[in-house]
């Protein structure tokens, strides 16, 4: 905050602010040791293809169990890890673990892994991805990397180069949380993409708000015209699923299809869930 306001601008401390900053410092410090202390694990959420209703893929989502605080949400610690650069090593670990796990799944099941903007800018990403594939033996076409639009804002040329190098390895690229970032349409036009994930805020509102519905429909139609499959995030009820089916969405993900689960529970979900 002080930095943003610039020199000579006093910051007015509100009650609780110092505590909040100190708290953040503690969490960041704990995060530095979390990898070495094996406090992370990965859960997998099913992705169901339409209209076949088959589970075709799983998204890897990191979990951190803090020794005192319990579960800390990735929405809280990933931004911290991005700020201090730890995300590069954490991301490497996720890639390695998730690829190893996915290598034991049936061949037709794919794996999606989130990659942050900071990882994308690091020259290590390509090495980490190639290593994870080599060590696990996972076929590259079974791996999809999910990037958010914010990851794509800076240095378009460098990023297009990295994405092309990744695709030369045979990996797929998805745009995550579509509609929430900046200059979405320029990215759709300029970048090699294999999937568009429509942000769950649009899906959640599609049944009650006609503008949200218009956006969802338009993105699906655009994906169709551009030959890029679309996926709707955050599908929580049958009415939403029916709607998405009707308007031609290619895949869905959300609590209705299955919650993120440990690998052992994931098998049960695939067999007995809606998706079976």
Minimum Å gap between C-beta 70 and ligand C2E is 14
Residue 74 engages ligand C2E in binding (rule: CB under 6 A): yes
Report the residue from 61, 80, 100, 165 that binds ligand C2E according to the rule CB under 6 A: 61
Minimum Å gap between C-beta 206 and ligand C2E is 13
Report the residue from 34, 47, 48, 62 that binds ligand C2E according to the rule CB under 6 A: 62
Strand pairing of 110-115 and 70-72? Answer: unpaired
Q: Give pairs for 21-28: CB < 8 Å, separation 24+.
A: 24/80, 27/66, 27/72, 27/76, 27/77, 27/80, 28/80, 28/84
Residue 149 engages Mg ion in binding (rule: CB under 5 A): no
Choose from ligand C2E, Mg ion, none: what does 78 bind? Cβ within 5-8 Å by kind: ligand C2E
Report the residue from 193, 234, 243, 250 that binds ligand C2E according to the rule CB under 6 A: 234
C-alpha span between 114 and 176 (Å, rounded):
8
Residues composing the chain: 276
| x-marked contacts with ligand C2E along 189-228 as a string, rule CB under 6 A | -----------x----------------------------
Query: What is the dihedral sign for C-alpha 127, 130, 136, 138?
Result: positive
Report the residue from 97, 176, 223, 249 that binds ligand C2E according to the rule CB under 6 A: 176
230-252: string of b/e by CB count within 10 Å (b at 16+)?
bbbbbbeeeebbebbeeeebbbb
Cβ closest to ligand C2E, residue 188 vs residue 241 = 241
* Span near Mg ion by CB under 5 A; candidates 26-34, 145-153, 220-228, 252-260: 145-153
C-alpha span between 230 and 174 (Å, rounded):
9
Minimum Å gap between C-beta 135 and ligand C2E is 18
Report the residue from 146, 219, 230, 269 that binds Mg ion according to the rule CB under 5 A: 146
Non-local CB neighbours of 275 within 8 Å, separated by 6+ positions: 46, 48, 53, 54, 55, 257, 258, 269
Count of residues of this chain found to bind ligand C2E when the rule CB under 6 A is applied = 22
Residue 258 engages ligand C2E in binding (rule: CB under 6 A): no
Closest CA to 274 of 261, 257, 262: 257
Give 134: exposed, middle or buried? Use CB within 10 Å, 0-12, 13-18, 19+.
exposed
Residues that bind ligand C2E (CB under 6 A): 45, 61-62, 73-75, 78, 91, 94, 114-116, 146, 176-177, 200, 234-236, 254-255, 260
Residues that bind Mg ion (CB under 5 A): 114, 146, 176-177, 233
């Amino acid at each position: 905050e002080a930095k943003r306001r610039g020199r000579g601008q006093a910051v007015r401390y509100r009650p609780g602010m110092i505590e909040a900053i100190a708290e953040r410092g503690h969490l960041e410090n704990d995060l530095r040791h979390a990898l070495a202390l094996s406090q992370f694990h990965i859960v997998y959420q099913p992705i169901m293809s339409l209209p076949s209703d088959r589970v075709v893929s799983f998204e890897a989502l990191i979990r951190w169990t803090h020794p005192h605080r319990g579960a800390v949400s990735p929405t809280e610690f990933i931004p911290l890890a991005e700020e201090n650069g730890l995300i590069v090593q954490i991301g490497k670990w996720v890639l390695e673990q998730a690829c190893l796990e996915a290598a034991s799944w049936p061949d037709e099941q794919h794996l999606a892994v989130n990659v942050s903007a900071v990882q994308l800018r690091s020259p290590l990403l390509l090495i980490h991805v190639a290593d994870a594939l080599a060590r696990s033996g996972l076929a590259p076409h079974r791996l999809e990397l999910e990037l958010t639009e914010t990851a794509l804002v800076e240095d378009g040329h460098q990023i297009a180069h990295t994405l092309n190098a990744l695709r030369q390895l045979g990996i797929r690229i998805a745009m995550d949380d579509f509609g929430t970032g900046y200059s979405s349409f320029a990215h759709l036009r300029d970048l090699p993409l294999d999937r568009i994930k429509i942000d769950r805020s649009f899906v959640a509102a599609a049944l009650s708000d006609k503008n949200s519905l218009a956006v969802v429909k338009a993105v699906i139609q655009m994906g169709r015209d551009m030959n890029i499959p679309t996926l709707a995030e955050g599908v929580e009820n049958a009415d939403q699923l029916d709607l998405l089916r009707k308007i031609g969405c290619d895949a869905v993900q959300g609590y209705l299809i299955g919650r993120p689960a440990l690998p052992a529970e994931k098998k049960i979900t695939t067999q007995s869930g809606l998706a079976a």
